[in-house]
Amino acid sequence: MNFRFALVSLLLLPTAALAQTPVPRFEVSLARIAAGTRVQFLVLSNSGAPLSLEENRTVTVPVAARAGGLTIPGGALLVGRFERTGEASGALNIESLVIGQNVYAVRATSTPIPGLLRRTGTATPRYPGREASGTLFEAGGDLLGIPVHSRQARAATSLLGALFGAAAPPAPERSTGTLAASLEPMQTLGVQFLGEVDFDSPIAQLPNGPADLNGSW
């Protein structure tokens, strides 16, 4: 009898031990994020190197967050496009949030991220006064019933130019190029959610989790 009991106990031991082993799960502490919510995300990195951002390029940012009643575990990803907001700053416009295998639709934007404009030249300034005066000179005489090449036509052109802004100063030159920035590991990234996020309604599921979205993850 003792032998049978010992044998049964031995067979059940691995199952009991396995049942006590915690299974890792990706969960959030809330069912939804309300529109207008501001969250401070912590930027993570596997390699320890800064994450590069380039204007109008889609980027995946590994993050974690804990603010008030909200907890988003490490391994979550913000997915969005880095877009210019000024000569030396941009924002990450977020389109989705990946937690575990679940992908959620998101409408959110980050606080300004300082960047550097990689200049490729300057745009040619426009001279609205010069461009408009030629057209007005041709049309001014006909408009007022005066011969086109007469002194009166030139006076009419000047008058019309003043009235319609033809004498406005030239527009300033604008730098052209691509804005680049970076996010440092363990820095905080402020994000405002412009729309509600419902964690009960993912828009898609990834078979292998975030690795499907970012091969380096």
Cβ neighbors of 57 (< 8 A, separation 6 or more) are: 81, 82
Share of the chain above pLDDT 90, in %: 45
Of residues 153 and 87, which shows the higher confidence score?
A: 87
> Both tokens of residue 69?
């009643």
The secondary structure element, H or E, covering residue 26 is: none
167 confidence band (pLDDT: 50, 70, 90):
very low
| Distance (Å) of CA 48 to CA 16, 45, 93, 112, 186 | 39, 5, 24, 23, 9
pLDDT digits (tens, 9 = 90+) for 198-210: 999 999 999 876 6
Single pTM value for the model = 0.62
Give the 3-state secondary structure of residue 121: strand
* Residue 151 reports pLDDT greater than 80: no
> Both tokens of residue 80?
């969005």
pLDDT digits (tens, 9 = 90+) for 30-62: 788 999 999 999 999 878 899 999 999 999 999
35 phi, psi to nearest 5 deg = -60, 140
